[in-house]
Structure 1
Amino acid sequence: MAVRVGILGATGAVGQRFIQLLDDHPTFELAALTASEESAGKRYDEAAKWRVNTPIPDDVAAMEVGSTDPAAVPDDIDLLFSSLPSSVAAEVEPAFLEAGYVVSSNSSNDRMAPDVPLTIPEINPEHLDLIEVQRDERGWDGALVKNPNCSTITMVPTLAALDQFGLERVDVTTLQAVSGAGYDGVTSMEIIDNAIPHIGGEDEKMETESRKLLGSFDGAEVALHGAEVNASCNRIPTLDGHLESVFADLADDASPEDVAAAMREYPGVDLPSAPEQLIHVFEDEFRPQPRLDRDRGDGMQISAGGIQSTDHGVKYNCLAHNTIRGAAGASVLNGELLAQEGWI
């Protein structure tokens, strides 16, 4: 039986990725689209300026865009995906949750709320049980699940693989694609022939979200991982694909070969959108590269390479597609986990 789903904020860049990823999905049937009031009532192909590299599915093009209001969304929707700006989501998502909807959200609001699961299915699926705490504390029948920031989700799977060696400290420098800022986020005059050495709020998201994702859950709350995480986030003129240089201090000795094996062998999950192998490790020290490697595993695989020993652990590079694995794809995967675990 198909799971009927909707998208909140369907006309934006991440909303368009949701539509692309949900086309011909084996479990989810796209049945509702919402956007701003100026788009509501229009056909989707009239409301959205389509920028994804595949055509709008014909059935979606003809769908009417609704208001982002619980009263305007059909009652038989089982799951909502949210790609709203965080300032809007902070106001709108609670109304849907109080109306009983389950929301898998890419928006950054509430990611660090103690009763909200911040989830990567391969890393911490047990954190979904926070939904029970959330419902008790907030008094709603719905459920809110978040995926992490696009830069965080690139790094954390590799850190999870390293945790067996006693992860103590992480220093990371990111080289982030312009699509991470949205279509209008960085002008061509800013980024061509340039790099921007600051992305507002990004450092803090990586530093806090990583520790929550890697934290331990006792059935009532998540204890943050004890590793210290320091991030420096930068924008560069690539279109898609965040490349990150990671320095990890480890309590135990681990050779580059040990680290590569741990990453390659880190288990995946049996979900429709999940890659067969979570982390691909390159032996070529010039890889991964955004243009060459961002689409591995249909954009859902993490790539790593350049693993070398340091005085206190290892250093390496990692890469992921920021609008697929790092945004819409992460929410879809969380939605698949919610369905598999019986939350919807």
Structure 2
Amino acid sequence: MTVRVGVLGATGAVGQRLIQLLEPHSDFEIAALTASESSAGKAYREAAKWRIDAPIPEDVAEIEVGATTPEDVPDDVDLIFSSLPSGVGAEVEPEFCEAGYVVSSNSSNGRMDEDVPLVIPEVNADHLDVLERQREERGWDGALLKNPNCSTITMVPPLAALDEAFGLTDVRVSTLQAVSGAGYDGVTSMEIIDNAIPHIGGEEEKMETESRKLLGGFDGTAIELHGMDVAASCNRIATLDGHLENVWVDTEDDVTVADAEDALRSAEGIDLPSSPDQLIRVFDEPDRPQPRLDRNIEDGMGVAVGGVQETTDGLQFNCLAHNTMRGAAGASVLNGELLAANGYL
């Protein structure tokens, strides 16, 4: 059965990526697009300044954009994808859930709420069932599911594989994040050309908290944060797409490079259309992964790992993922597939 879907914030960078992924999707049909009041009432081709390196889908281009309110979305829409700014999302997303819509959201608001599942399907799909508690406590007919921050998504699949095999006690990460993560107007050319910016507001806290929730235990009702200590330093560099991260981990059990690489390669995907066949690709070359060369592995939904080395108490490695695909739009679509597969629509 085809699932009718809507996109909130459809004219923005992540909204456009969502449309790029949803328009050819075998299970989803785009039925509603929303944006700001200034865009409402216009055809999508007029409202959106299309920036994707592929033509705007013709059937989507003529859809009339609505305002971002439940009243502007048809009742027969089964699933909402949200790419709203967090301040707007915090206000609007609960209104959609109260109105009965199920929302798969990329927005950062509410990710650490106890009754909101924060999910990477290949890592912690079981956390989805906290939605039962959410509906009961909030009185919603709808539901709200979050995917994590794009920098968090990059490192957590490798961390999950290593934690399962060897146990993690401490994580240190330094990021080199692409400019697209800030949105089209987020970083000016005069700021970033011939430069690197050693601060991204709020990013470090997101990595430090979201990773512990994603790897935490779930008893069917509550999620207990993982006990590892996480410290992050986040930096913006002049690449367009692809977040590259240098990670150091301390492990409970002794670990060799060979054992670590076997654990990473053994990380399994999940039986959903957008999940990659190979979740983690491990490179033997010491100078890989690189954003320009490796961000599009598995159609942008894989995670690349390289430079695995032993340290005194564990390992050092580099990891890379496409921040607007695996880290944003693709993650939301994958979560939408998980919701559909588990009967939440």
Bucket of the pairwise TM-score, normalised by the shorter protein = over 0.9
In structure 2, the residue matched to 1:69 is 69
Task: Name the counterpart of 2:150.
Answer: 150
User: Structure 1 residues 249-258 or 204-213, which shifts more?
Assistant: 249-258
What SS does structure 1 have at the residue aligned with 2:91?
helix
Match of 2:162 in 1: 162
The equivalent residue for 1:228 is 229
Specify the alignment match of 2:122 in structure 1.
Answer: 122
Q: 1:42 is paired with a residue of what secondary structure? A: coil
Q: Deviations over 1:144-182 (max 9, x none)?
A: 000000000000000000012011000000000000000
Deviations 1:182-205 (CA, angstroms, capped at 9, x unpaired): 000000000000000000000000
Inter-partner Cα distance in structure 2 for 1:98 and 1:53: 36
Partner amino acid for 1:326?
G
Q: Give the partner amino acid of 1:322.
A: N
Partner of 1:258: 259
Counterpart in 1 of 2:86? Answer: 86
1:284 aligned partner: 285
* Counterpart residue identity of residue 79, structure 1: L
How big is each residue's C-alpha offset from its partner over 1:65-97, in whole Å with a ceiling of 9 and x where there is no partner? Answer: 011010110000000000000000001001100
Deviation at 1:306, TM superposition (A): 0.3
Aligned partners of 2:24 and 2:186: how far apart in 1?
30
Separation in structure 1 between the aligned mates of residue 339 and residue 30 of structure 2, nearest angstrom: 16
AA aligned to 2:51 is: R
Distance 2:227 2:305 in 1: 24
Moved over 3 A (4+): none
Residues 1:217 and 2:235 aligned together:
no
Does residue 99 (structure 1) correspond to residue 99 (structure 2)? The answer is yes
The alignment's TM-score, normalised by the length of structure 2, stands at 0.99
C-alpha distance in structure 2 between counterparts of 1:300 and 1:242, whole Å: 13
Report the Cα distance in structure 2 between the residues aligned to 1:23 and 1:257, rounded to whole angstroms: 41
SS of residue in 1 equivalent to 2:128: helix
Amino acid across the alignment from 1:87: G
1:268-321 per-position Cα deviation (integer Å, ceiling 9, x unaligned): 101111110100000011100000000000000000000000000000000000
Once residues 166 and 128 of structure 1 are traced to their aligned partners in structure 2, the CA distance between those partners, rounded to angstroms, is 23
Instruction: Please name the residue that 1:247 is paired with.
Output: 248
| Deviation, structure 1 residue 238 | 0.2
Specify every segment of 5 or more residues in structure 1 that has no aligned partner in the other structure, as ranges. none
The residue type equivalent to 2:186 in the other structure is G
**Which runs of structure 2 are paired with 1:1-344 in the superposition (5 Å)?**
1-163=1-163, 164-344=165-345
TM superposition shift of 1:6: 0.4
**Could you say what secondary structure the match of 1:229 adopts?**
strand
SS in 1 for 2:121: coil
Residue 122 of structure 2 aligns to a residue in which SS? coil
| Structure 2 residue identity aligned to 1:135 | R
% same residue: 72
Q: Which amino acid aligns with 2:132?
A: E
Q: Secondary structure at the match of 1:276?
A: coil
* Alignment root-mean-square deviation, CA: 0.4
Q: Match of 2:69, as an amino acid?
A: D
> Distance in 2 between the 1:19 and 1:136 partners?
32
Q: 1:319 and 1:15 mapped to 2: Cα distance?
A: 22
**Number of equivalences:** 344
How far apart, CA to CA, are the structure 2 residues paired with 1:239 and 1:264? Answer: 27
For residue 220 of structure 1, report the CA deviation from its aligned partner: 1.0
* 2:328 counterpart SS class: helix
| 3-state secondary structure, aligned to 1:247 | strand
1:270 maps to a residue whose letter is D
Shift of 1:24: 1.3
